[in-house]
Amino acid sequence: MKSMRKWVAALSAMFALCLVLSGCSLGGVLGGGDPAKNFIGDWKLVGMEDSEQVLSKDDIKSMEDLGLGVGLTFKEDKSFTLNMFGEETSGTWEVKSPTEALLTVEGQTASAKLDGSELTLEQDDTKLIFEMGTAVVSAPGSGDSGTGKSDTSTSPTSTSGGDSGKTEVAVGTTLADDSICTIEIVNKTTDFADDPGYTLKITNKTDKAITVSGKYGTFSVDGKMVDPLLYETIQPGKYAETFLWFSTSDVANLDALVNVEGTIQIYDSKTYDTLAEYPFAM
């Protein structure tokens, strides 16, 4: 679960920078015919690796079980859509060779290279691997909060064994209130999987869609560096209740969720420019 959470956070950051762009190959027409047919269709993320670790197909399947899928569709009209955790973006693509496609979003490009039935996108020391198939992705508004967690976070029905029967602690603190957004910490609680975290109510005060995330590498719990998962897109003038949560492999239960420090980041969902950062301290 620790590796899964790290990769989800890394994927979110890469998505925000328009770097998570990839596709796959049927492999059946590499020797001739229209090379575009190698890419057209639905594809899903099946593996990730960096210099420290490898995330297997089983790990990706566990992510999909939580609705944390990443899917990509290449269309015949040379457009594509990328769906990550229920958030969708689109762009254009072109064939450079039977084993390479160039994808473009908002003027930024990325190259995806085929190797048999797999296509790999590599950025620095991180590789994202796709194969043909349909990803399991939770749709926005279908009972999740854009993080793959169901909306039971505001009324938990399960209790971590170490919580001594305690499932929710009211907080009622305003973390931020300015021209960009209001962030309220509603409570400290556990979700359906017993992961401890905080319910946040976030109101978008701007005239553009914003995305909220925990800034990677800034959070600690009782002195230990631990990255939570938070990823939410909010339309202008709307609000969302979402859950900032930690894996039980890092934070055992609600009682262990103390001395939490980190940074909440807000960026423009279209341009990916950072709009604000807010210190989180509980």
Task: Say what the pLDDT of residue 63 is.
Answer: 74
Cβ 30 vs Cβ 98: under 8 Å: yes
Question: Angle at which helices 57-65 and 2-16 pack, to 10 degrees?
Answer: 80
Tell if the pTM clears 0.75, that is, is over it: no
3-state secondary structure of 192: coil
Low-confidence ranges of the chain (pLDDT < 50): 1-7, 13-31, 139-166
The DSSP code for 115 is E
In which region does residue 19 sit, left (phi positive, over 0), alpha (psi from -120 to 50) or beta (all else)? alpha
**Backbone φ and ψ of 58, nearest 5°:** -65, -40
Task: For 12-35, write each residue's pLDDT tens digit.
Answer: 544 444 333 333 333 333 445 678
Task: For 167-189, write each residue's pLDDT tens digit.
Answer: 789 999 999 999 999 999 999 99
